[in-house]
């Protein structure tokens, strides 16, 4: 039986807080304390499956921590959970992360600065690329987007990216309370204060990184906390300028294999026949019933991607065009590497 090129653990929206259970705005139960136990089980499974890395798609802790003086304790406990894996972990920045900590703290504590240093990417932003450590080139790369690069969150008033967010919401959302999308129709519902977008600089960077991947024959996963395709989620959960991102991805559909996102707390999937890109939104740990699991093991093969979900986390098999003819050679080399 053919071995995968590599495999990774996938999980989203832990939103842990040491507080009693509650409900979402829509009345969905939220199991705040249980979320950490669920995350620990997920990481234990990742370790047992010998994944090469883990990905958490954002909102590692919940905003309630900031109201109870628990932000530091909560972040420390959540990070310790992933430290037990002893493998690289990719973290996306989510809105609940920014409710609790400044961007510079998150970039440091979640290892984002370390990823940026490896690719000589300076600045306070939280986007970066990551190459799995066991894959010889050509192989795969992960491009991690910062969906809150243009946002009310993470930047002080007066910062150009904060002011750009103010301009966008004033243009698209007439409500006094900008977290409300009352009166907005269709895809316009995404213009809420707890959302965000990618800056022009980030979009330029994304295009440049994809061009590099085309030249080096790397395939790419795109990761972001906010959802990137309108057919995967409710409009409220979309990146403000998802359309611009999709436009760039369509230009590089020979490179991009899949997008991975969280934020919506429920599974969503759409295969775009126009581009051949798989778009997946992942269910959130926070709303998984106590004792149940919510994570996936993703196995990447030359011709397919297998998502093996647990309990409320959906499974799937996605076809992939290897596109370069070096896949079997990559598999051969992988067997020569120590785990």
1 belongs to a structural domain: no
Residue percentage of the chain with pLDDT more than 70 = 92
pLDDT tens digits for 276-301? 999 999 999 999 999 999 999 999 99
Mean pLDDT of the chain: 93
135 belongs to a structural domain: yes
Please identify which residue in the block is written with the tokens 């926070």.
Answer: 286
204 belongs to a structural domain: yes
51 belongs to a structural domain: yes
Residue percentage of the chain with pLDDT more than 90 = 87
pLDDT tens digits for 155-201? 999 999 999 999 999 999 999 999 999 999 999 999 999 999 999 99
58 belongs to a structural domain: yes
Q: Is the pLDDT of residue 338 over 90?
A: no
- If residue 333 lies in a helix (H) or strand (E), which one and from where to where? helix 327-335
Torsion of CA 321, 322, 325, 328, to 10 degrees: -130
Residue 279: domain span: 6-335
DSSP 102: -
328 belongs to a structural domain: yes
269 belongs to a structural domain: yes
Q: Is the pLDDT of residue 330 over 50?
A: no
CATH at residue 84: 3.60.21.10
For residues 217-235, average pLDDT: 98
287 belongs to a structural domain: yes
pLDDT of residue 149: 97
In sequence order, which residues have a C-beta less than 8 Å from that of residue 197 and are 6 or more positions away? 147, 149, 150, 151, 165, 168, 239, 240, 241
Q: List phi, psi (to 5°) of 318.
A: -115, 125
How many structural domains comprise the chain? 1
| C-beta of residue 18 within 8 angstroms of C-beta of residue 64 | no
pLDDT tens digits for 124-163? 899 999 998 876 656 999 999 999 999 999 999 999 999 9
Please identify which residue in the block is written with the tokens 């919940």.
Answer: 62
């Amino acid at each position: 039986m053919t071995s995968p090129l590599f495999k990774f653990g996938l999980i989203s929206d832990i939103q842990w807080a040491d507080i009693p259970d509650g409900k979402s705005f829509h009345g969905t139960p939220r199991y705040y304390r249980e979320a950490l136990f669920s995350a620990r089980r997920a990481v234990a499974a990742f370790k047992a499956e010998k994944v090469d890395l883990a990905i958490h798609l954002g909102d590692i802790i919940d905003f309630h921590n900031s109201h109870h003086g628990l932000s530091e304790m909560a972040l420390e406990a959540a990070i310790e959970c992933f430290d037990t894996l002893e493998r690289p972990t990719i973290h996306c920045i989510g809105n609940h992360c920014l409710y609790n900590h400044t961007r510079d703290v998150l970039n440091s504590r979640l290892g984002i600065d370390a990823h940026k240093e490896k690719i000589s990417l300076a600045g306070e932003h939280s986007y970066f690329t990551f190459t799995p450590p066991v894959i010889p080139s050509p192989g795969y790369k992960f491009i991690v987007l910062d969906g809150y690069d243009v946002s009310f969150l993470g930047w002080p008033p007066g910062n150009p990216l904060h002011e750009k967010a103010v301009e966008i919401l004033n243009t698209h959302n007439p409500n006094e309370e900008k977290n409300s999308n009352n009166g907005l129709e269709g895809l316009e519902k995404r213009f809420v204060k707890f959302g965000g977008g990618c800056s022009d600089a980030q979009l330029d960077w994304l295009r440049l990184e994809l061009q590099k991947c085309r030249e080096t024959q790397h395939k790419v996963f795109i990761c972001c906390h906010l959802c990137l395709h309108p057919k995967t989620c409710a409009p409220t959960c979309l990146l403000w300028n998802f359309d611009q991102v999709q436009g760039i991805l369509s230009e590089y559909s020979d490179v991009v294999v899949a997008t991975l996102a969280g934020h919506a707390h429920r599974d969503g999937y759409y295969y775009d026949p126009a581009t051949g890109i798989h778009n997946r939104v992942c269910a959130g740990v926070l709303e998984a019933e106590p004792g149940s699991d919510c994570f996936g093991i993703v196995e990447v093969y030359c011709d397919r991607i297998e998502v093996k979900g647990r309990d409320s986390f959906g499974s799937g098999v996605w076809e992939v065009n290897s596109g370069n003819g070096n896949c079997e050679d990559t598999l051969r080399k992988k067997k020569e590497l120590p785990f």
